[in-house]
Amino acid sequence: MIRTYKCRVKLSSAGHERLGEIFSMSAELYNAGLESRIDCYRKTGNGRSLYDQYKELVQVRADLPEFEAVSSIVFRGVLSRLDKAYKRFFKHGGFPRFKSGRRWRTIEINDRCWRMLKREGNKLVLKVKGLPSIVVKPSRELPPNALLKAIRITRKSLRTEVALSYELPEPEQVGEARNPVGIDMGISKRLTLSNGETVEKREIDRKKLIRLQRSVSRKVKGSNNRRKAVSLLAKEWQRVSDKERGYLHRLTAEIVKMYDFIAVEKLETKKMLGNKRLARSISEQAWGKFITLLNEKAESAGVKIVAVNPKGTSQECSSCGAEVKKDLSVRTHKCSCGLVMDRDINAATNILHRGITIAGGNVTRMAGRMREKLEIAPARPRTVYGSVN
């Protein structure tokens, strides 16, 4: 099980300048490797392997002192990235493109990582030949260095970050599920749980983003003022993204702690974004990120999570199983069996039923229990998680 810990770093101004030089050298090597592959194919009709380019790197380091001064592991990561781009091209299309040194922002290290992260007193320091000394500031306790498999140094708009990837042992699975839940993802409510709890939809405050975007549009292309305006816009988007990611981490962690069996929808988000009226609202809810983080946290906690086909979950009655046709504008589910409830809660309950069936359990429709609830009060969604702008 691979888990990645993202950490902030402390770096001097000279260190930032040195990192910029390494990024430029990495882009130069990437472009040279890509050109070598293209020329080889044009002349011989055959491609070049990653191993061939590793051998070429030895000659490059012998001829150029600036490359010799940096660990070969750093540049092997560059060539591995090019090789992955070629493999994606043959599988999915999209030929690799030449990279600008100004836009290269990542250093990948995939070999002998455990030797580079060292403890010096109370500090955790990343030391790689040719790179500046980087003080890593983790927000939580890290696994042992022996489990470290990859290091990625990334310069973002607001800061430089280090991502540490560890190979952790598989956790023990939770036994019999005693507190299952189904989750319906929507637009009017971001999440609706089968027990009636809801998560408010996400709405991005775009006032500052719009103002910064207009500022970029007014600047002359290629000018320093435009470059500064683009940087400010990128920083604001980074703040929005970081705030949302932190919120999703807290939300998914809370769900995994509360429930020991989770059923979710298997949505085709890319196809849904083809709807021009709903595309922005769908993308704002970040269902894909939510499912990814929920899967990771559930796996780490040993909690069973099942993805089900969402087709018909809002039309089917969760009490008797009858089909009740209704448009998207109809927000209340009313069935001839007497069940009246919010359509999203009904859909979440059906998702839970399908998840239990896939997991091999027995589904009881609980019609009697539903009617008992209706006699007291109609089921209504209750917001228990805050939202984020």
N- to C-terminal Cα distance for the chain?
A: 33
| Same domain, yes or no: 327 and 191 | yes
Q: How far apart are CA 273 and CA 284, in angstroms?
A: 11
Is 252 contained in some domain?
A: yes
Q: How much is the mean pLDDT over the chain? A: 85
Instruction: Reply yes or no on whether the pLDDT at 386 is more than 60.
Output: no
Question: Any idea what the CATH number is for the domain that residue 365 is in?
Answer: 3.30.420
Is 263 contained in some domain?
A: yes
| Same domain, yes or no: 124 and 190 | no
| Same domain, yes or no: 162 and 195 | no
Average pLDDT score over residue span 350-373: 63
Neighbours of 242 (CB within 10 A): 13
Cβ atoms of residues 125 and 133 within 8 Å: yes
| Same domain, yes or no: 55 and 138 | yes
Average pLDDT score over residue span 231-236: 93
Beta strands in 121-260 (DSSP E): 123-126, 134-137, 148-155, 160-167, 180-185, 189-193, 197-200
- pTM of the shown model: 0.79
Instruction: Reply yes or no on whether the pLDDT at 366 is more than 70.
Output: no
Backbone angles phi, psi at 8, to 5 degrees: -80, 160
Q: How far apart are CA 346 and CA 351, in angstroms?
A: 9
Is 8 contained in some domain?
A: yes
Q: How far apart are CA 252 and CA 256, in angstroms?
A: 6
Q: Count how many Cα atoms sit within 13 Å of the Cα of residue 115 in the half-sphere of its side chain.
A: 8
Predicted confidence at residue 379, as pLDDT, reads: 39
| Same domain, yes or no: 152 and 259 | no
Neighbours of 262 (CB within 10 A): 26
Amino acid identity for residue 265 in this structure? E
Phi-psi region of 61 (alpha: psi -120 to 50; beta: other; left: phi over 0): alpha
Q: How far apart are CA 202 and CA 187, in angstroms?
A: 9
Q: How far apart are CA 350 and CA 310, in angstroms?
A: 9
Q: How far apart are CA 349 and CA 369, in angstroms?
A: 13
Is 24 contained in some domain?
A: yes
Is 276 contained in some domain?
A: yes
What are the pLDDT digits (tens) for 164-176? 999 888 887 776 7
Query: Among 146, 167, 188, which residue terminates a domain?
Result: 167
| Same domain, yes or no: 58 and 134 | yes
What are the pLDDT digits (tens) for 282-327? 888 888 899 999 999 998 888 888 999 888 888 888 888 788 888 8
Is 282 contained in some domain?
A: yes
| Same domain, yes or no: 290 and 320 | yes
Is 79 contained in some domain?
A: yes
Predicted confidence at residue 361, as pLDDT, reads: 64
| Same domain, yes or no: 108 and 69 | yes
Instruction: Reply yes or no on whether the pLDDT at 210 is more than 50.
Output: yes
What are the pLDDT digits (tens) for 30-51? 999 999 999 999 988 888 899 9
| Same domain, yes or no: 162 and 303 | no
DSSP 151-191: EEEEE-SS-EEEEEEEEPPPPPPP-S-SSEEEEEE-SSEEE
| Same domain, yes or no: 193 and 293 | yes
| Same domain, yes or no: 48 and 74 | yes
User: In this structure, is the dihedral angle defined by the CA atoms of residues 97, 100, 104 and 110, taken in order, positive or negative?
Assistant: positive
Cβ atoms of residues 290 and 248 within 8 Å: yes
| Same domain, yes or no: 187 and 107 | no
Predicted confidence at residue 29, as pLDDT, reads: 94
Range of the domain at 280: 180-201+237-385
Q: How far apart are CA 294 and CA 296, in angstroms?
A: 5
Weakest-pLDDT range from 4-18, 95-109, 350-364: 350-364
Q: How far apart are CA 16 and CA 10, in angstroms?
A: 10
Instruction: Reply yes or no on whether the pLDDT at 364 is more than 70.
Output: no
Percent of the chain with pLDDT over 70: 92
Instruction: Reply yes or no on whether the pLDDT at 383 is more than 50.
Output: no
Q: How far apart are CA 203 and CA 189, in angstroms?
A: 11
Is 71 contained in some domain?
A: yes
Q: Which two tokens stand for residue 381?
A: 């969604």
Cβ atoms of residues 351 and 358 within 8 Å: no
DSSP 330-361: --EEE-TTS-EEEHHHHHHHHHHHHHHHHTT-
Which residue do the tokens 């980074």 mark?
238
Query: Among 143, 167, 191, which residue terminates a domain?
Result: 167
Phi-psi region of 366 (alpha: psi -120 to 50; beta: other; left: phi over 0): left
Query: Among 119, 146, 167, which residue terminates a domain?
Result: 167
Number of domains in the chain: 2
